[in-house]
Structure 1
Amino acid sequence: MLTDRETCLTAVRSRDARFDGWFVTGVRTTGIYCRPSCPATPPKARNITFYPSAAAAQAQGFRACKRCRPDTSPGSPEWNVRADLVARAMRLIADGVIDREGVPGLSRRLGYSVRQIERQVRAELGASPLALARAQRAQTARVLIETTALPLTEVAHAAGFGSIRSFNDTVREVFALSPRELRARTSAGVAGTSEAPDAWHFLTVRLPHRTPLCPDNLFGHLAATAVPGVEEWRDGAYRRTLDLPHGPALVSLRPADGHISAALWLSDLRDLTVAISRCRWLLDLDADPAAIDAHLGTDPRLRPLVDAAPGRRVPRTVDGPELAVRLVLGQQISTKAARTHAARLVTAYGQPVDDPLGGLTHVFPRPEALATAADETLAMPERRRQTLRGLASLLAAGDIDLSPGADWEHARALLGELPGIGAWTVEGVAMRALGDPDAFPATDLGLRQGMASLGLPDGGAAAMTASVPWRPWRAYAVQHLWATGDHEINRFPPAPAAGPAPTTAIIRSAS
């Protein structure tokens, strides 16, 4: 985390939004904490204390600024870059593990004792894992209070609070307003909830990100590789199904001015935090594009590409096992053929969903269903069938962890031991599922063509040597090199014809 006081003071005085999420500013004279870009007049330096997290500021008695809303700033890019224990813990906390399994569950997933995790997280973040999860619950509660008409007792349950008292106390401590006062401040009001027992819970949220953001390859890749029934491009938005801890969900993601607009259909509101976390991960929204572009731009061969399209992100996934299976399906065949294979599996083994807009039909099959998939649904060479079933069996048994808290190198090693899985698949999983910013699929055809177009070695040890100056951001260099080609994954997708109006009863929200 950023701890240099002079750098932090400079960021606050210049209201530099690039530092939002890196730290928060506690103002002792007012008792509030702000994001670095807060539009209020910067306080005097002697009255400022910098904290590495909102939870740390809250633990010292500071409440969130009502003007800049630091609880809604992008997450720290540190957790995207690092693979150590603290980073893995933070990614799992963001994915709601503590809310579902408690700190002991976090400990089991990471393979460390509760005491070790508590000590390391507190030393770096200034707060315990439980306090970090509590701060996240407070933000989830605020979203539900301000954008739905749910009764506050249901909001407390959906946000993960164990009691109404802890819900009321936390919201009041963090925001200096009671839940009722927060709802009363919502200017537009919200519509009533549906009484249909099988209704989707619908709400819209803004997903902030650091600028710039280049949407071309990000949405182009997701749309071009979309599996029919699971994903679609509709009216300028990428839509897909999600398999969440408490049930299926749908999401629609659309680039907007300074944020991503997310429309969510949830079967269980307890999954709101997880859904937001996975959407942010999918679109790589916590990246620091200024730092990445500055580093890649030091290479004169890459600089023209970076200058032409600053802010490229790595298109990731909402589900690691799904991505791994799809990469195996896509080995040595075209994008179109890979989509066809995946769609066949989705129809045969995916959980059906009822999309209010009509375009999405299934959640992608879980590994346990694919481990015993029938031959007639696997129209591929026998060796690849064995690879797919073997991978699915290990994923279903939990022997390979591709979750946000996975150990990157351990996962790489286990994948590489599977017959039929080579460097292309391993590095693809590392880049898009595990989130390793330095993943580099050197054997990828599009990457080799991109390197050749710049006069760089396009294979073997020479290509790896040529990529060394781009470390630790080689996954982002890959995005620029892929974009030298004319494949549709590099272009922002065109908008198809509008679909039918929603027919399923849903909870409406104010945007």
Structure 2
Amino acid sequence: MYTDTERCVRAVQSKDARFDGWFFTAVLTTRIYCRPSCPAVPPKVENMTFYPSAAACQQAGFRACKRCRPDTSPGSPEWNARADSVARAMRLIRDGVVDREGVPGLAARLGYSARQIERQLLAELGAGPLALARAQRAQTARLLIETTGLPMAEVAFAAGFSSIRTFNDTVRAVFALAPGELRSRATRSAKPPVAPGVIALRLPYRAPLNPSNLFGHLAATAVPGVEEWRDGAYRRTLSLRHGHGIVALTPHPDHIACRLSLTDPRDLTLAISRCRWLLDLDADPVAVDEQLCVDPLLAPLVRKEPGRRVPRTVDGAEFAVRAVLGQQVSTAAARTHAARLVAAHGLPVDDPEGGLTHLFPDPGELAGLDPERLALPRSRRTTLTTLVGALADGSLRLGTDTDWEQARAELTALPGFGPWTVEVIAMRALGDPDAFLPTDLGIRRAAEQLGLPSTPAALTARAAAWRPWRAYAVQYLWTVDNHPINHLPT
């Protein structure tokens, strides 16, 4: 995108917010970089140059615009739609892997050498993994500076900086303000008060966003004690690297309000990444909907309520366990099975603002469960215990960086994993935008009503024209049924 100068110039001159995060505009005269939708008067064309990432702008010596705050743009949708090494690297960097394990750790997870990963990222993003991680640390630091009262030394280390000096130098270089000046500016602006220990921020997205299926699905399938819908917000507990957290996510017309309570501020970057992934906030809904509207039978559903996202998960292993518990039972029964598992094996947490009581148990905590105590058919007990064992010993990984086809093959090899279970995990846990559920009963009923082929083979053939966005087509097809997953709770 950023190499198409003419198209970039048109986007900047029209202040088109659809391209925020796709590329960044650097102004040669002011040495400032902006998002395409910056409200300032567009610079002269000869003074514009374009970069694929904020990190590339910073590495070239440009500082972030104080008006449009380009560092807070939605992420590039490419990293959600692709499964190659660069996309997987970006998802890992977004989760803070470089800060924790360094570039060698990033490369090892991807099965490449550090030099290969550096070369691939430089070629596509104009910045290597260290520069990309530095840009993310700067954004995390800004959030902590502006939304908490933490001392600056604690902010520095929580954001992942190795020293106070590096923290100060980076903040000044990226934002042209000292950390204390950033906090002073934030204090002067009118903001609603938040409880002590709560971090309040906005999660941006590309419009349109239809909250009905996104939050409706999460609320309708919520596991008691782990998730709840309260006062217009989806709330849930989070298992994080340094501790745990509780998040409340509220849909608004131009952003998602996010309130985070963390036991350790070092988990802020990871918590934000998990929330954005959960809500599919880096999607490009215009591109998705345009492709789906090519089918004349699907187009009316898309045009009626555009901008549907794929509701995902904050933890792939958790979702896989829940998918098995939900095999061939109702939504209510699946919630009951999961709630029993949580009560028996989940870590208790304190939630002074609501009714959350536990973290969802991780595979290690479930590895010792007694299958005879599960109120499940014997075959499903075997499926569950085999899955938990594979997740616990590391032979099966379901992270945001997992190779989609490899995970499908590994899941299929487990007992009790048919196409529906494998594809729903690929869609919601792995984030494959092309995952498809032709055997799903709701999809087959919708196909019949719309005049689409209803047999799995014929529907799969028809859906070839929807690729690579068949997971989004699933969200639209599910709306044909009047199911609670399609509506915000009242």
Measured against the shorter chain, the TM-score band is over 0.9
Tell me what 1:84 maps to: 84
Aligned letter for 1:454?
A: L
Counterpart of 1:333? 329
User: 2:335 is aligned with what amino acid?
Assistant: R
Deviation at 1:173, TM superposition (A): 0.3
Distance 1:3 1:442 in 2: 38
Work out whether residues 19 and 36 of structure 1, in 8 Å CA contact, stay in contact via their aligned partners in 2: yes
Distance 1:360 1:20 in 2: 35
Residue 250 of structure 1 aligns with which residue? Answer: 246
**1:459 shift after superposition:** 2.2
Displacement of 1:189 in angstroms is 8.1
In structure 2, do the counterparts of structure 1 residues 32 and 435 end up closer, same or farther at CA, with 3 Å as the change threshold? Answer: same
How far 1:375 sits from its partner (Å)?
2.9
Give the equivalent residue in structure 2 for 1:281. 277
- Please give the per-residue CA displacement for 1:63-119, whole angstroms capped at 9, x wherever unaligned: 000010000110000001000000000001101111111111111211111111111
RMSD: 1.5
| Residue 458 of structure 1: how far off its partner (Å) | 1.6
The reply to whether residue 304 of structure 1 matches residue 336 of structure 2 is no
Structure 1 moving runs of 4+ over 4 Å? 188-194
Following superposition, the deviation at residue 190 of structure 1 comes to 8.9
- Identify the residue that residue 493 of structure 1 maps to in structure 2: 489
Do the aligned partners of 1:148 and 1:190 also contact (CA within 8 Å) in 2? no
Q: 1-side partners of 2:193 and 2:168: how far apart?
A: 22
Q: Give distance in 2, aligned partners of 1:389 and 1:373.
A: 8
Aligned counterparts of 2:194 and 2:322: Cα–Cα separation in 1: 38
Q: Is the 8 A contact 1:372 1:389 kept in 2?
A: no
After TM superposition, give the deviation of residue 358 of structure 1 in Å.
Answer: 3.4
- Which one of the candidate residues 232, 235, 242 is aligned to 1:239? 235
Tell me the alpha carbon deviations over residues 491-511 of structure 1, each in whole angstroms, 9 at most, x when there is no partner. Answer: 1111xxxxxxxxxxxxxxxxx
Give the 3-state SS of the residue equivalent to 1:395 in structure 2.
helix
SS in 2 for 1:257: coil
Correspondence list, 1:161-176, <5 A: 161-176=161-176
Instruction: Please report how far the alpha carbon of residue 124 of structure 1 lies from its aligned counterpart in structure 2 after TM superposition.
Output: 0.4
Q: Distance in 1 between matches of 2:352 and 2:105?
A: 35
* Equivalent position of 1:51 in the other structure: 51
1:257 Cα offset (Å): 2.4
Taking the TM superposition and a 5 Å limit, the aligned residue runs for 1:129-208 are 129-186=129-186, 187-188=188-189, 201-208=197-204
String of CA shifts for 1:112-143, please: whole Å, max 9, x gaps: 11111111011100001111010000000001
Q: Give the 5 Å matches for 1:80-479.
A: 80-186=80-186, 187-188=188-189, 201-479=197-475
Equivalent-residue separation in structure 1 for 2:380 and 2:75 (angstroms): 39
**How far did 1:371 drift?**
2.2
Identity %: 68
Structure 2 alignment gaps of length 5 or more: none
TM-score (normalised: structure 2): 0.98
Cα 1:191–1:13 change in 2 (3 A) is closer
Distance 1:193 1:153, change over 3 A: farther
Per-residue deviation, residues 388-413 of structure 1 (Å, max 9, x unmatched): 11111111112112111110110111
Distance, in Å, in 2 between the alignment partners of 1:316 and 1:202 is 24
Tell whether the 8 Å contact from 1:201 to 1:268 is kept in structure 2 after alignment.
Answer: no
Residues 422 and 33 of structure 1: CA distance in aligned 2, closer, same or farther (over 3 Å) = same
What residue in structure 2 maps to residue 503 of structure 1?
none
Give the C-alpha shift of residue 372 in structure 1: 2.2
2:16 corresponds to which residue? 16
The SS at the match of 1:232 is strand
Tell me how far 1:303 sits from its aligned partner: 0.9
Cα separation, 1, equivalents of 2:441 and 2:379: 22
* Code of the aligned partner of 2:15: R
Shift of 1:452: 1.2
Q: Deviations along 1:15-42, whole A, 9 cap, x unmatched?
A: 0000000010110100000000001111
The SS at the match of 1:185 is helix
Secondary structure at the aligned position of 1:150 is classed as coil
Distance 1:210 1:457, change over 3 A: same
* Residue matched to 1:499: none
Q: In the alignment, is the contact (CA less than 8 A) between 2:2 and 2:50 conserved in 1?
A: no
- The alpha carbon displacement at 1:378 in A equals 1.4
Asked if 1 retains the 8 angstrom alpha-carbon contact of 2:2 and 2:51, the reply is: no
- For the Cα contact (< 8 Å) 1:138–1:171, is it kept in 2? yes
Deviation at 1:424, TM superposition (A): 0.4
The verdict on how the C-alpha distance between 1:396 and 1:105 changes in structure 2, with shifts beyond 3 A counting, is: same
Q: Please give the alpha-carbon distance, in whole angstroms, between the structure 2 residues aligned to 1:480 and 1:397.
A: 37
Aligned with 1:42: secondary structure? coil
The answer as to whether partners of 1:149 and 1:191 remain within 8 angstroms in 2 is no
Q: Which has the higher contact order (CA 8 A, sep 6+)?
A: 1
Structure 2 contact 371–385 (Cα < 8 Å) conserved:
no
* Residue-by-residue CA offset, 1:444-466 (whole Å, 9 max, x unaligned): 11111111111112223111101
Q: Is the 8 A contact 1:249 1:265 kept in 2?
A: yes
CA contact (8 A) 1:330 1:338 kept: yes
Q: Deviations over 1:132-155 (max 9, x none)?
A: 010000000001111111111110
- Residue 502 of structure 1 is matched in structure 2 by none
Code of the residue aligned with 1:432 in structure 2: it is R
Instruction: Note closer, same or farther for the CA distance 1:193–1:286 as it changes in structure 2 (3 Å cut).
Output: closer
Scaled by the length of structure 1, the TM-score of the pair is: 0.94
Whichever residue aligns with residue 278 of structure 2, its letter is: L
SS at match of 1:145: helix
The answer as to whether partners of 2:205 and 2:281 remain within 8 angstroms in 1 is yes
